[in-house]
Amino acid sequence: MTLKLDNITLTYPDGDHTLTALDHVDLNVERGEFAAVVGPSGSGKSSLLAVAGTLLRPQSGSVVLGGVDVTDLSDGQRTLVRANKIGFVFQGVNLLGALTATDQLLASVHLSGGRPRARRHDAIALLTSLGLGARLDRRPHQLSGGERQRVGIARALINDPDILLVDEPTSALDHERGTQIVDLLAELTHDRGVATVMVTHDVSQLDRVDTIHEMSDGSVMIPASLVPSGRM
């Protein structure tokens, strides 16, 4: 199992009360599996992504990434795990304004301890394979929304992560471009053998996913009605 969340509970202090964001949640995603987590706002989707991405430490349960239990790693170790084993595709992309498309990927290489100069050809090849060969030296403000999203995906994949965590990738795109991005994510997930978790509220973009996990009030359930036929 490439990503295994086991019996995760996450609570936040909320005034005099405690808010339970994740309530004994289990989630298993295999290598090459494209999993979607859907649910209304406040259902715990983002919290789930944050725990899987080692950004939040759960009160109980365990998080195993690529066979390594990361639950109790120190902050420094979790940072290294994020740099080397996890790729993030953020909502609204969140590219770095000062960097060209190529440098976005090379920054990720540098953070993982790699040498950007040695990986320049890999970055260009990856961007070109995603249809961005003519946009290599463009900065975020010179790219369209779909192009920015593809650069964000390429940035998340440049270090060959075990896990790809995708946060609302279609929220800033129209339906057609959103479909293209989800198709691209599905293709890359299967071709590269990465375990992908996509958090989305857009249930119209779930045709290409392998498994769907619906969240409600901090718990995960798998509704049969939403599971794509032939994939479960």
Partner 1 sequence: MPVHLGRGNGSLFNGTTQQHDAFPVLVNRSVDSSANRMILMTHQPVDVFLMVVIHDGHKAINHRFFNHKGVEMFVGLRDLWFARGRFALMTTVVALVALLVVMLSGLTAGLAADNVSAIEHLEATHIVFQDSGDGPSYDQSRLRTHDIEQWTQLPGVTAATPLGISRATMTAGDSSIPVVLFAAETGTFLAPSQLGTDGTVVIPSALADRHQLSTNDRLTISDSTFAVSIVPSGHSFSHSPVVWMDLHDWQQITGNDGSATVFALQADSGIDGQPIKGSVVKPLNDTFSAIGSFPAENGSLQMIRGFLLVISALVIGAFFTVWTIQRRHDVAVLKAMGASTRYLLADALGQALIVLTASALIGGITGFMIGELVSGSVPFVSDVATTVYPLLIMVAIGLLGAALAIRSITKVDPLTALGGSK
Q: Which is nearer to partner 1, 96 or 203 (CB)?
A: 96
What does DSSP assign to residue 114?
-
According to DSSP, the β-strands at 163-167 and 17-29 are unpaired
Handedness of CA 71, 55, 164, 24 (dihedral sign): positive
Question: Which residue in the set 84, 128, 180, 216 belongs to the binding site for partner 1 (CB under 8 A)?
Answer: 84
Q: Choose one: 13-21, 32-40, 113-121, 181-189; the region binding partner 1 (CB under 8 A).
A: 113-121
Q: Compute how many residues bind partner 1; rule: CB under 8 A.
A: 55
**CA atoms of 58 and 20, how far apart (whole Å):** 11
Within 7-26, the residues that bind partner 1 by CB under 8 A are: none
Residue 231 phi, psi dihedral angles, 5° rounding: -110, -10
Lookup: tokens for 185 = 């994510």
Question: Torsions phi, psi of 169, nearest 5?
Answer: -70, -15
Residue nearer to partner 1 on the CB measure, 20 or 46:
46
Of 70 and 206, the one with the shorter C-beta distance to partner 1 is 70
Q: What residue ranges bind partner 1 (CB under 8 A)? A: 46, 49-50, 53, 55-56, 64, 66-69, 72, 76-77, 79-86, 88, 90-99, 103, 106-116, 118-119, 139, 155, 160, 162, 167-168, 171-172
